[in-house]
Amino acid sequence: MKLRHPIDYSRAKTRREVLIRQRRDLWTPEQVESLARHFQLKPGMKMLDAGCGFGYAMRTWGRFCMPGGGLTGLDRDKRLLRQAGRYCRKEGFGRAARFVAGDICGMPFEDNAFDATLAHVVFCHLAEPEKAFDEMIRVTRSGGCVAVFDNAMTGSGSSGWTSWREPTVDERLLGHEVGLRMMKGRRELGFGDFSVGCHVPVWMEARGMRNVGVRMNERVVWIAPPYASPEQQTAYRNTLERVREPLRWDRVNKAEVAQMRAGGLARAMFDRHRRINRSVDQAFRKAVKEGTAAYSGSSPFWCIWGFKP
């Protein structure tokens, strides 16, 4: 039986959560500028956003290739590409942006076609990310930049604090075990690997890429009443949107069950973890309604770049 990938972009809720909400304020303006300098982006350059989704990376770093540049977004999902086109037009890229449907592991482009090739949160979904990496190098010209943005989790997730319910040590340990086993299951089933970012610097060096650099995303997301600053308003708006969407803690899908098995996680442990999460979620919703919710959080997310020899 073919299992659906656990992150399903045909669901509107997933698209909203991942491709819109998680992208708001993801990289600070300073980091965007600084990475553009590291990538040596210049007007007139041709940039590829591989696995572009709604085109977040091409819209964020494409402006450094303007005027005169050309942006290409590739994704296997045509519906996402249509929306990416609408966003790019809205942001004034007009005819400078084009979109191509295809697989990042075998892209329909000539060798050396681009000055810079970016992949933003794609490798962690792939069974064979190294294949995609080699494709990115192939389609980039000699001296051009290849940049990979991805998760680099070796633990089970983020660090931070919430005002509404402090988990006990036992709950935290349980959360780590569940997280690590689900990650292992995901890897074993070929659904991807949330630690993939950690491997990319080594892959870059092994292929003789020049001037390899790595930066961690420096954004700590936090909210604290009265949520007044522009940064707080963005974070609070994301929180309100999350609260408006019902969470279905009782529903477990086939992919999750398969991940449990492949990761060696007992169903009883998974269910206990979900019960705890449900009660945390209820406390969270109550705090948001009362206007007392405060939290801070970050997760390991890296940008790794290098230049093709």
Ligand X SMILES: C[S@@+](CC[C@H](N)C(=O)[O-])C[C@H]1O[C@@H](n2cnc3c(N)ncnc32)[C@H](O)[C@@H]1O
Contact residues for ligand X (CB under 6 A)? 9, 18-19, 23, 51-54, 56-57, 75-77, 80, 103-105, 120-122, 125-126
Q: Running DSSP on this structure, what letter comes out for residue 263?
A: H
The least CB distance from residue 122 to ligand X, in Å, is: 4
Question: What residue type is 32 in one-letter code?
Answer: V
Quick one: 54 or 227, whose CB is closer to ligand X?
A: 54
The least CB distance from residue 5 to ligand X, in Å, is: 8
Quick one: 125 or 199, whose CB is closer to ligand X?
A: 125
Quick one: 132 or 212, whose CB is closer to ligand X?
A: 132
The answer to whether 197 touches 305, Cβ cutoff 8 Å, is no
Query: Nearest residue by C-beta to ligand X?
Result: 53
The answer to whether 200 touches 119, Cβ cutoff 8 Å, is no
The least CB distance from residue 21 to ligand X, in Å, is: 11
Quick one: 122 or 212, whose CB is closer to ligand X?
A: 122
| CA–CA separation, 264 and 182 (whole Å) | 8
C-alpha angle 289-293-295 in degrees, rounded to nearest 5: 150
Quick one: 6 or 284, whose CB is closer to ligand X?
A: 6
Write out the two tokens for 17: 């959560």
Quick one: 22 or 112, whose CB is closer to ligand X?
A: 22
| CA–CA separation, 257 and 176 (whole Å) | 18
The count of residues in the chain is 309
Quick one: 53 or 306, whose CB is closer to ligand X?
A: 53
Write out the two tokens for 206: 């092994």
The least CB distance from residue 187 to ligand X, in Å, is: 15
The least CB distance from residue 2 to ligand X, in Å, is: 15
Sign of CA dihedral 10, 12, 14, 16: positive
The least CB distance from residue 212 to ligand X, in Å, is: 21
| CA–CA separation, 189 and 261 (whole Å) | 10
| CA–CA separation, 118 and 305 (whole Å) | 9
The least CB distance from residue 52 to ligand X, in Å, is: 5
Question: What residue type is 127 in one-letter code?
Answer: A
